[in-house]
Amino acid sequence: MSFLKCCTKVTIYALFIFLATAVNTFAQEYVLETNDRISVHFWQETSLDIETTIDSEGKIVVPVAGRITAAGLTISQLENKIVQKINIYNRNVTQALVKIIEYGSKKIFVTGAVLMPGPLTFSKMPNVWEAILQAGGPLETARLDNITILRGGDNHGQRIPVNLTNYFDDLTKLPELRPNDNVYVPSAATNGEGGAGGTGPGGVSLYAKKKVIYIFGEVSRPGRYELEEHMDVLQAIVIAGGPSSGGGSRSGASAPAIQPDLTSVRIISAGQDGSVVYRLNLERYAREGIPVPFQLKPGDTVYIPAKDAYGRFLMTNIVRTVLTSAVSIAVSLIIFHNTR
């Protein structure tokens, strides 16, 4: 065997060991909390296997070993602690395998126009968009501009409106979710009342696929689409009917037509530590192929914003309305004062 081949094999083997160790370490970094549901498996003594929930005092009951503190420990720490306790009475048990069944302390609910509404649990709290994707993603009738967070826990009943499209540039600015919150996604088909509940016409048959992407904003047919092999962002926009033509407006005939801003397309992609937002000049991308083909991954979101001209029009009209109202109130007060 040549020296080069030998070095290559050693390098590949070392890289494999490093990756395996890194993955295992990452999986064991989670610190157990109360209400987490776990399983404990003893391959040398399967009669001791259990499924249990960490109680309010942070403890679990293990056969032979008795009550053991689990909250505050990593998975590997708990495994070692269980083996140490049991090994006093049964020396045949030298290994224990702990798995998390449910993250009980980080439960939220996603309801309305999503594919799989209901409770969800996470190892760490997601943002609103990540929670919606975990619930199967939005249905094509979902109103992403009119989401409501219904607080649970100590602030039970508090309502926080969220226009998700305003945050596609920076998802870190979204209102934080808390345990027992309810993320409600209304449906345009029901005018925001009741939602689609994940069972709208064609909902399951059209969307029950794992490899999907989401396309929203100023496109002809926003919604959820199956991801084809090697699909890039340009192909994705084409299957969504292409950018909207800008033929209409949302505020009457006096408003400028809504134009898609193709120089500032956002791609939201899941990263190891949360969602990552990329900004892409689609005009340059289509013309020059710069950057290199941006291939999409399952769960990616493509968002085409409207040009600033329409936003400036809305803000100008809002300010004008507020000022007009303020002046009218002031004049009315002056007239009332002078007639007294």
Backbone dihedral region for residue 246 (phi beyond 0: left; psi -120 to 50: alpha; all else: beta): left
pLDDT in tens, the chain (340 residues): 554 444 444 443 443 334 334 434 444 468 898 888 999 999 988 999 999 999 999 999 999 889 999 999 999 999 999 999 998 888 888 999 999 888 877 889 999 998 889 998 887 888 898 899 888 888 878 888 899 999 987 778 899 999 988 887 778 889 999 888 999 999 876 544 433 333 333 333 333 346 888 888 888 888 788 888 888 888 889 988 888 876 444 444 454 567 888 888 888 887 666 678 888 888 888 777 666 678 888 888 888 888 764 344 344 444 444 444 444 554 455 555 555 5
- Written as six digits, the tokens of 286 are 């289509």
pLDDT at 189: 62
DSSP 115: S
Domain with CATH 3.10.560.10 in the chain: 106-201, 209-314
Backbone angles phi, psi at 285, to 5 degrees: -60, -45
Instruction: Map tokens 């490899």 to a residue.
Output: 211
**What's this model's pTM, rounded to 2 decimal places?**
0.53
Q: Name 174's Cβ contacts closer than 8 Å, sequence gap at least 6.
A: 127, 128, 129, 162, 164, 167
- CATH number of the domain located at residue range(s) 209-314 in this protein: 3.10.560.10
For residue 20, the number of C-alpha atoms closer than 13 Å in the C-beta half-sphere is: 6
Domain 31-102 coded CATH 3.40.190.10: no
- Written as six digits, the tokens of 104 are 């009980």
Domain with CATH 3.30.1950.10 in the chain: 31-102
Tell which CATH classification among 3.10.560.10, 3.60.15.10, 3.20.180.10, 3.90.1300.10 matches the domain 106-201.
Answer: 3.10.560.10
